[in-house]
Amino acid sequence: MSAVSGWLAVLSVSTVVLFALNLAFNNDGSRSAILGEDVQPVGEVSDEFDSTITPRGIAFAIWGLIYFWNAVLMVFALYDAFAPLFRGFRRGRVTSDYHAEEEAASGLDKHLLTPLFYLSYSLTCVSSAVWIYVWTNEKLGLSVLFLLLMNVGLWGAIAAVFSHYRSLTGGRKEGFTKFQRNFSRFDFFGFHAFVVNGLFIYATWVAVALLLNLTTWVAFDLKTLSAERMATVSLVILICEVALWFTAQNTFLERYTRYLVIDYLVLFWAVGWSLDKNYKAGATNTIVTIALLALIGLCFVVRICLLIGRAIHRRAESTRTQEREEPAKATATGGSACVV
């Protein structure tokens, strides 16, 4: 095992431990036992500082799905860190040239996740636990700060994952051909299903939570804007974020987010329950929320159409490439036979 693989194994275990501690701290009973004192439930504080865009309570049940998905991500991270210990296991087969390929590959080329991913995700876990503490102690300004750090950690992890994936797959023409030299199809599936989607279900919800906390802080602590006015500002910010993300996702980030749609479902869940709770005919925030829902729905439909269209195009390109290569292979085979 190389030094790089050894450090990644240590980092992966450390990150899993921090994730488990974060889960424990998010539970009121466990947090009370850890702190040795009675604690105020998160929901009670949310009810106390209720804004006109806070979703209905059932919306927060999504945390169960987020943590389950990220628990699977952590299991996959352990697999990614320790798989190179087992020769040929990652590839799903033992080949005669495996040793040569292993020597040619650098340490990080044998892994899907990098040290920057683990450090960024660890920042998220620590910030999440601290956020729970400051929020339940009604320190609204600090809660915004630590939610911001959670966003920084998650987007840092996403950036690390995308950057390393680019180095593993090479240019657009190489694509999966280069990737499959060191990784199996299960790795490809796990990367997109567990890592990318797991990070984005978390990051999308935390991005919404940051705006909710920002609204609460400005309206109830700073009192520079009314809750109604600050809610409008937050909704407009979210509209801009959705539009910018849709553009980025379907242009220069397309190769990394090719199997990602969970982000729009999370947004629809959050904004839908917000409208359900706070609907008021003719109110400014109701109108803006409906416009936001329409934008999310439009982006989701267009996204699905683009995914299907691009999949068909790639399949057609693959077929044409095979048809062009077959005559060349036949000619090469015939030439070899003549020489013999």
- pLDDT tens for 275-311 read 999 999 999 999 999 999 999 999 999 999 999 998 8
Task: Give residue for tokens 């650098």.
Answer: 106
Provide mean pLDDT across the span 203-219. 96
Closest CA to 304 of 266, 268, 272, 258: 258
Could you tell me if residue 324 is inside a domain? Answer: yes
If pLDDT is split at 50, 70 and 90, which confidence band does 94 have? very low
Buried b / exposed e along 65-101 (16+ C-beta atoms within 10 A): ebeebbbbbbebbebbbbbbeeeeebbeeeeeeeeee
Separation of alpha carbons 168 and 279, rounded Å: 48
Q: What is the pLDDT of residue 318?
A: 66
Separation of alpha carbons 29 and 38, rounded Å: 9
Could you tell me if residue 168 is inside a domain? Answer: yes
Separation of alpha carbons 144 and 134, rounded Å: 10
Could you tell me if residue 176 is inside a domain? Answer: yes
Candidate from 84-88, 171-175, 216-220 with smallest mean pLDDT: 171-175
Token code pair at residue 333: 């085979």
Could you tell me if residue 334 is inside a domain? Answer: no
pLDDT at 172 over 60: no
Q: What is the pLDDT of residue 339?
A: 44
DSSP secondary structure letter of residue 110: G
Candidate from 16-20, 74-78, 110-114, 287-291 with smallest mean pLDDT: 110-114
Closest CA to 60 of 239, 232, 274, 262: 274
Measured from the Cβ of residue 43, the count of other Cβ atoms closer than 10 Å reads 12
Separation of alpha carbons 152 and 83, rounded Å: 29
Could you tell me if residue 340 is inside a domain? Answer: no
| Degrees, nearest 5: CA angle 34-37-39 | 90
Could you tell me if residue 335 is inside a domain? Answer: no
Could you tell me if residue 337 is inside a domain? Answer: no
Separation of alpha carbons 110 and 182, rounded Å: 6
What is the number of H-type helices and E-type strands within the chain? 13, 0
Judge whether 216 and 49 are in contact, CB under 8 Å. Answer: yes
Candidate from 192-196, 256-260, 265-269 with smallest mean pLDDT: 256-260
pLDDT at 97 over 60: no
Provide mean pLDDT across the span 241-269. 95
CA distances from 254 to 173, 236, 260 (A): 15, 25, 10
Judge whether 54 and 48 are in contact, CB under 8 Å. Answer: no
Higher pLDDT, 316 or 293: 293
CA distances from 180 to 86, 110, 159, 161, 315 (A): 17, 11, 22, 17, 18
Measured from the Cβ of residue 45, the count of other Cβ atoms closer than 10 Å reads 16
Judge whether 35 and 249 are in contact, CB under 8 Å. Answer: no
Closest CA to 44 of 144, 134, 135, 128: 135
Could you tell me if residue 314 is inside a domain? Answer: yes
Provide mean pLDDT across the span 62-71. 97
Q: Which burial class, exposed, middle or buried, applies to 119 when counting CB atoms under 10 A from its CB (0-12, 13-18, 19+)?
A: middle
Provide mean pLDDT across the span 322-331. 63
Range of the domain at 281: 3-329
Go through the chain and tell me how many residues it has: 340
If pLDDT is split at 50, 70 and 90, which confidence band does 252 have? very high
Provide mean pLDDT across the span 128-139. 93
Average pLDDT value over all residues in the chain: 86
Q: What is the pLDDT of residue 207?
A: 98
Rounded to two decimals, what is the model's pTM? 0.88
Closest CA to 85 of 192, 15, 14, 8: 8
Provide mean pLDDT across the span 99-111. 61
Q: Count of domains in the chain?
A: 1
Q: What is the pLDDT of residue 98?
A: 45
